[in-house]
Amino acid sequence: MADRSFLDWPFFEQRHRDWADRLDAWCAKNLPVDHSDVDAACRDLVARLGEAGFLKPTAVDTANPGPLDVRTLCLTRETLARHDGLADFAFAMQGLGTGAISLFGTPEQQQWLDRTRAGKALSAFALSEPRSGSDVANMDMAATRDGGDYVLSGEKTWISNGGIADLYTVFARTGEAPGARGISAFLVPADTPGLEVAERLDVIAPHPLARLAFNDVRVPASAMIGKPGDGFKIAMSVLDVFRSTVGSAALGFARRALDETLERAGSRELFGAPLFDLQMVQGHIAEMALDIDAAALLIYRAAWTKDMGAPRVTREAAMAKLFATDRAQEVIDKAVQIHGGDGVRRGHIVESLYREIRALRIYEGASDVQKVVIARQTMK
Ligand X SMILES: Cc1cc2nc3c(=O)[nH]c(=O)nc-3n(C[C@H](O)[C@H](O)[C@H](O)COP(=O)(O)OP(=O)(O)OC[C@H]3O[C@@H](n4cnc5c(N)ncnc54)[C@H](O)[C@@H]3O)c2cc1C
Residues annotated catalytic, as ranges: 364
| Binding footprint of ligand X, residue count (CB under 6 A) | 19
- The residue among 237 and 261 lying less far from ligand X, judged by its C-beta, is 237
* DSSP β-ladder status, 123-126 and 273-274: unpaired
Q: Which stretch binds ligand X (CB under 6 A): 50-58, 266-274, 334-342, 368-376?
A: 368-376
Q: Which stretch binds ligand X (CB under 6 A): 103-111, 155-163, 253-261, 332-340?
A: 155-163
| Binding-residue pattern over the window 202 to 221 for ligand X, x denoting contact by CB under 6 A | -x-----x------------
When binding is defined by CB under 6 A, the residue of 134, 138, 267, 282 that contacts ligand X is: 134
When binding is defined by CB under 6 A, the residue of 35, 213, 215, 363 that contacts ligand X is: 363
By the 8 A CB rule, do 185 and 228 touch? no
Task: Give the whole-angstrom CA distance, residue 142 versus residue 173.
Answer: 5
How far, in Å, are 38, 130, 279 from residue 84 at the CA level? 12, 29, 31
* Local structure of 140: helix, strand or coil: coil
Q: Report the DSSP beta bridge partners of residue 201.
A: none
How far, in Å, are 71, 241, 292, 365 from residue 368 at the CA level? 25, 20, 21, 8
- When asked if residue 102 is in the footprint of ligand X (CB under 6 A), the reply is no
- When asked if residue 109 is in the footprint of ligand X (CB under 6 A), the reply is no
- The residue among 159 and 257 lying less far from ligand X, judged by its C-beta, is 159
By the 8 A CB rule, do 320 and 299 touch? yes
* Local structure of 187: helix, strand or coil: strand
- When asked if residue 159 is in the footprint of ligand X (CB under 6 A), the reply is yes
When binding is defined by CB under 6 A, the residue of 11, 19, 125, 304 that contacts ligand X is: 125
Whether omega before 32 lies within 30 degrees of 0, making that bond cis, reads yes
Q: Which stretch binds ligand X (CB under 6 A): 237-245, 275-283, 314-322, 366-374?
A: 366-374
- When asked if residue 126 is in the footprint of ligand X (CB under 6 A), the reply is yes
Q: Report the DSSP beta bridge partners of residue 199.
A: 211
* Local structure of 50: helix, strand or coil: helix
- When asked if residue 127 is in the footprint of ligand X (CB under 6 A), the reply is yes
Q: How far is the CB of 64 from ligand X (least distance, A)?
A: 28
Binding site for ligand X (CB under 6 A): 125-128, 133-134, 158-160, 203, 209, 359, 362-364, 366, 368-369, 372
